[in-house]
Structure 1
Amino acid sequence: MIGRLSRTGALLRRLHADRGGNTLIEFAIVSPVLLLMIMGLFDMAHTQYSRSVLHGAMQKAGRDLTLENANSQQVNIDQRVTDQITSVMPSGATIDLEKLSFFEFADVSEPEEFTDMNNDGICNNNEPYIDANENGGWDANRGRDGIGGARDVVLYTATVTYPRLFPMYSMAGLPDNVTIEASTVLRNQPFDEQNDRVTTPGNCP
């Protein structure tokens, strides 16, 4: 009995002194964090590269949209932007292209003017406003759909949403999808006199 206890004690001492499995255990602890960091770096690099491609495509498309024949080439211009973006995107990416025209650069992304009679910063309670884009309602962006006409200012925006390339994003608290956006603002070439924009007064609900 005593001999058996002695052998058991010796075995336990040898196991306690054995450090042969330390590396494997340490790697099992560290590897999830290491893999998460590596995938995060690749994810960030892909997002930056995609954003760079998107900005380049938008700059070229913006210049093309200001040319005199832009009205007849809008579909081709949009398709070139879409093709260039999808070449670096994973499957399942969605691309939303929007073109808004303004009379002046100062109008870009500005709300339609209204008289804030109750000083609450909201167009309501039958307050009068100027319907700059002629759509029958007050808007936080006064731009009109499309590229407008001669010397109009065009805001061309692309919004791209795509699923992340690598798993484990939830462990880092990241959303399932990435959304990037790029815009360009240019004035149409003056191939004609700029038309005065007719605006209609209205009242907010």
Structure 2
Amino acid sequence: MIRNHFIRHLRDDQSGATLTEFGLVAPILIMMIMGIFDLAHTQYTTALVNGALQKAGRDLTLETAGSRESTIDGYVISQINNVVPSTATIRLEKLSHFDFEDIGEEEDYDDENLNGVCDNNEVFVDTNRNGQWDADRGEEGIGGARDAVVYTAIVTYPRVFPMYGLAGLPQEVELRATTVLRNQPYDQQDLTVESGNCF
């Protein structure tokens, strides 16, 4: 009888129900809030990287860019460092091309054996003059007058908020921003190319 009374009392007791319900909902709520903060931080960082690249792109088109290239790169890096953890890695890549239509194109070659691969001592046009056939004919650096330049920043950093594992996200965030610019026509464009043989 006492036992039945205790069970009924336990079943009808509502005190602590709110705490129990909050205990069930809290982990999901906290994960959602941290996820929103993480997403907002990533979006803000992406916008900042794009903005820094746009400004740097305008500065790199000038004739004096060659002497100021490290200063311009330093500006981009300092802007990014303002919002990412100190352990972030920042990589800047610049590939110059003769024209916009050359961007992302492979170097031309004579495909004598028709296998779609530059091999077997086939002759290729070494557009970027680096002594080997490349799937992207861009030349490292900002190039010269009238060249089209692809300027890319790759930023990698550990996530700021620790809930990434519960949401199935990778620990590292990698952001990539690119701008394309054309150098001013302050001189004649260098049109020299070389040839080589594929191995």
Asked if TM exceeds 0.5, the reply is yes
What is the alpha-carbon distance in structure 1 between the residues aligned to residue 87 and residue 76 of structure 2?
17
Q: Any conservation in 1 of the 2:35–2:163 contact (CA below 8 Å)?
A: no
What residue is the counterpart of 1:59 in the other structure? 54
Q: Does residue 162 in structure 1 map to residue 185 in structure 2?
A: no
Q: Does residue 195 in structure 1 map to residue 193 in structure 2?
A: no
What is the alpha-carbon distance in structure 1 between the residues aligned to residue 4 and residue 113 of structure 2?
87
Q: Counterpart of 2:189 in 1: which secondary structure?
A: coil
What residue is the counterpart of 2:119 in the other structure? 124
1:164 positional shift: 0.3
Aligned-pair Cα RMSD in Å: 1.3
What is the alpha-carbon distance in structure 2 between the residues aligned to residue 121 and residue 46 of structure 1?
44
1:143 positional shift: 0.7
What is the alpha-carbon distance in structure 1 between the residues aligned to residue 122 and residue 165 of structure 2?
46
Percent sequence identity is 56
2:67 pairs with one of 72, 79, 83: 72
Q: Any conservation in 1 of the 2:148–2:183 contact (CA below 8 Å)?
A: yes
What is the alpha-carbon distance in structure 1 between the residues aligned to residue 64 and residue 105 of structure 2?
28
Q: Any conservation in 1 of the 2:147–2:189 contact (CA below 8 Å)?
A: yes
Larger radius of gyration: 1
What residue is the counterpart of 2:83 in the other structure? 88
Q: Any conservation in 1 of the 2:124–2:196 contact (CA below 8 Å)?
A: yes
What is the alpha-carbon distance in structure 1 between the residues aligned to residue 44 and residue 120 of structure 2?
47
2:143 pairs with one of 128, 132, 148: 148
What is the alpha-carbon distance in structure 1 between the residues aligned to residue 115 and residue 158 of structure 2?
40
2:5 pairs with one of 10, 33, 38: 10
1:172 pairs with one of 167, 175, 185: 167
What residue is the counterpart of 2:93 in the other structure? 98
Q: Which runs of 5+ in 2 are unaligned?
A: none
More deviation, 6-15/54-63: 6-15
Q: For the structure 1 residues 194 and 166, does the alpha-carbon distance in structure 2 shift closer, same or farther, using more than 3 Å as the test?
A: same
Q: For the structure 1 residues 22 and 127, does the alpha-carbon distance in structure 2 shift closer, same or farther, using more than 3 Å as the test?
A: farther
What is the alpha-carbon distance in structure 2 between the residues aligned to residue 121 and residue 56 of structure 1?
39
Could you state the TM-score of these two structures normalised by the residue count of structure 2? 0.95
Matched letter for residue 10 of structure 1: H
Matched letter for residue 176 of structure 2: E
Could you state the TM-score of these two structures normalised by the residue count of structure 1? 0.92
1:95 positional shift: 0.5
1:81-109 per-residue CA deviation (whole Å, 9 max, x = no partner) reads 11111101122111001111111111112
Matched letter for residue 166 of structure 2: M
What is the alpha-carbon distance in structure 2 between the residues aligned to residue 29 and residue 126 of structure 1?
68
1:195 positional shift: 2.0
